[in-house]
């Protein structure tokens, strides 16, 4: 594909979907790739999001994966590059947001050259930046739960300081009063910062209007680094997108066919409520027990034999989801890693068995579970469709397990979705 408008590099899988979802809702046709694709010949999209898993890698590895993604996106003639990180600016004590930003600017503009922004703000999700400080809801990032994150603890909310500790380039600030004064004022501030040799500008944003104003000021900037919020202000910069009529839907997917199934490996409060709601609606469900798998029983065949005759009647649910005390008991027996791996493997094999039996509409609950299922189905590309609930879109994917026929798949990380998510998602799809 050539003439790509926006080429995005996301530092984790669910973050990539979050960004892609925002871009589609703002009017861009969007494809998410799992890792850097081998080629790009048949991709048709305004934006492509390359999903990496680079957030917690050693910096050198994160850099080399990000540069591989950049090279691929440049080969698609991407007009603008977007490096997407978490809206809580998650980074290890040694990076990776700074080192990746440096490497991308080096590649685009030469050593210690170039200019970009850093802005994780997403006010709709309670992430705001004021005077360069990141707030999570009403508290500073450093007073939020992120202080104790197991992999990326964030103990400083001052993004200028955090970023300056990670980058060779000089970091500056565009404050909210400048943002509120409009795109021209922001561009003038960018120019003033550049005269002071600043190459990375942290930008304040406290509301959606700020995101739209900043977006306008970013027209033509070769690299944008941000959370997923800034994305909503970028599509307005391309006249060809503005010229499209309302009938041209960016979230269009091929018609959904085939049987329906839900695979749930998340044990979050929201997912427990969704499983309960599905069962109480009288639909068929079957639990998968990690201890039975560990005992060597062929749980996968048992589930598939149970599901096969039911599929023509409507969605079936296969779940390992359970309450915290039960999870704890299993973990004490098997260890948490082994329990997780056993469940993920069984659920992934069940997913591919269901596809082989004609399922073409699949909901998966759980971040890790989703990663395992997508890997087992050997999915490389996801076309992003309409949003079911905030942050969770339907997508259409190709898998070699049923090549030529799209599978509609929605990946829901733990706490997302209303309690009727498992049933309402399918009715939304049939209404497309």
Can you give the binding site for ligand ADP, defined by CB under 6 A?
265-268, 271, 290, 320, 322, 327, 330-331, 339-340, 343-344, 366-369, 413-414
Of 139 and 273, which has the nearer Cβ to ligand ADP?
Answer: 273
Of 223 and 411, which has the nearer Cβ to ligand ADP?
Answer: 411
Within 10 angstroms of residue 338's Cβ, the number of other Cβ atoms is 14
Cα 276 to Cα 148: distance, rounded to the nearest angstrom: 31
Of 142 and 331, which has the nearer Cβ to ligand ADP?
Answer: 331
Cα 424 to Cα 431: distance, rounded to the nearest angstrom: 11
Of 237 and 376, which has the nearer Cβ to ligand ADP?
Answer: 376
Question: Cis link prior to 359 (omega < 30° from 0)?
Answer: no
Q: How far is CA 353 from CA 305, 426, 428, in A?
A: 10, 20, 25
Q: Quote the least distance from Cβ 368 to ligand ADP, whole Å.
A: 3
Of 212 and 327, which has the nearer Cβ to ligand ADP?
Answer: 327
Of 208 and 331, which has the nearer Cβ to ligand ADP?
Answer: 331
Q: Quote the least distance from Cβ 418 to ligand ADP, whole Å.
A: 16
Q: Quote the least distance from Cβ 376 to ligand ADP, whole Å.
A: 13
Q: Quote the least distance from Cβ 265 to ligand ADP, whole Å.
A: 4
Of 368 and 420, which has the nearer Cβ to ligand ADP?
Answer: 368
Q: Quote the least distance from Cβ 417 to ligand ADP, whole Å.
A: 11
Contact criterion met (CB below 8 Å) for 96 and 104 = no
Cα 267 to Cα 133: distance, rounded to the nearest angstrom: 33
Q: Quote the least distance from Cβ 421 to ligand ADP, whole Å.
A: 13
Contact criterion met (CB below 8 Å) for 210 and 182 = no
Cα 338 to Cα 294: distance, rounded to the nearest angstrom: 9
Structure tokens at 231: 């994305």
Question: b/e string for 75-114 if b means 16 or more Cβ within 10 A?
Answer: ebebebbbbbbbbbbbbbeebbbbbbbbbbbbbeeeeeeb
Cα 371 to Cα 391: distance, rounded to the nearest angstrom: 16
N- to C-terminal Cα separation, the chain: 27
DSSP for residue 158: B
Of 228 and 322, which has the nearer Cβ to ligand ADP?
Answer: 322
Question: b/e string for 130-160 if b means 16 or more Cβ within 10 A?
Answer: eebbbbbeeebbbebebeeeeebebebbbbb
DSSP H helices, 282-409, are 290-294, 299-307, 324-334, 336-356, 367-376
Structure tokens at 246: 């309302």
Sign of the CA dihedral running 145, 150, 152, 154: positive
Q: Quote the least distance from Cβ 124 to ligand ADP, whole Å.
A: 21
Q: Quote the least distance from Cβ 144 to ligand ADP, whole Å.
A: 18
Cα 71 to Cα 57: distance, rounded to the nearest angstrom: 20
Of 176 and 271, which has the nearer Cβ to ligand ADP?
Answer: 271
């Amino acid at each position: 594909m050539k003439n790509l408008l926006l080429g995005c590099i996301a530092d984790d899988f669910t973050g990539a979907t979050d960004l892609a979802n925002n871009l589609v809702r703002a009017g861009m046709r969007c494809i998410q790739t799992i890792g850097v694709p081998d080629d790009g010949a048949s991709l048709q999209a305004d934006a492509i999001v390359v999903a990496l898993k680079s957030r917690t890698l050693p910096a050198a590895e994160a850099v080399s994966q990000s540069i591989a993604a950049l090279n691929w996106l440049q080969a698609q003639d991407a007009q603008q590059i977007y490096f997407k990180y978490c809206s809580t600016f998650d980074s290890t004590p040694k990076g990776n947001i700074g080192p990746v930003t440096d490497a991308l600017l080096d590649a685009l503009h030469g050593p210690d050259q170039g200019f970009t922004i850093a802005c994780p703000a997403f006010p709709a999700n309670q992430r705001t930046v004021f005077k360069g400080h990141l707030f999570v809801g009403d508290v500073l990032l450093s007073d939020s739960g992120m202080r104790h994150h197991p992999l990326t603890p964030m103990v400083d909310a001052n993004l200028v300081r955090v970023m300056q500790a990670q980058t060779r380039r000089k970091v500056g600030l565009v404050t909210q009063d400048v943002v509120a004064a409009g795109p021209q004022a922001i561009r003038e501030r960018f120019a003033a910062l550049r005269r002071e040799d600043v190459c990375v500008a942290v930008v304040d944003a406290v509301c959606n209007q700020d995101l739209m104003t900043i977006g306008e000021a970013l027209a033509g900037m070769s690299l944008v680094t941000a959370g997923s919020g800034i994305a909503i202000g970028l599509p307005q910069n391309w006249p060809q997108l503005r010229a499209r009529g309302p009938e041209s839907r960016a979230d269009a997917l091929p018609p959904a066919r085939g049987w329906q199934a839900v695979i749930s490996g998340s044990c979050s409060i929201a997912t427990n409520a969704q499983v309960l709601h599905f069962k109480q609606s009288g639909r068929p469900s079957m639990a998968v027990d990690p201890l039975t798998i560990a005992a060597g029983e062929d749980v996968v065949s048992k589930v598939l034999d149970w599901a096969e005759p039911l599929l023509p009647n409507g969605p079936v649910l296969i779940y390992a989801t359970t309450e915290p005390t039960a999870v704890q008991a299993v973990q004490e027996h098997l260890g948490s890693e082994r329990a997780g791996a056993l469940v993920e493997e069984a659920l992934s094999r069940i997913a591919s068995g269901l596809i082989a039996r004609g399922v073409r509409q699949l909901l998966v609950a759980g971040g890790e579970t989703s990663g395992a299922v997508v890997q087992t189905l050997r999915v490389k590309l996801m076309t992003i469709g309409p949003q079911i609930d905030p942050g969770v879109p339907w997508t259409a994917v190709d898998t070699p397990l049923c090549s030529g026929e799209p599978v509609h798949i929605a990946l829901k990380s733990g706490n997302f979705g209303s309690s009727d998510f498992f049933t309402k998602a399918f009715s939304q799809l049939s209404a497309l």
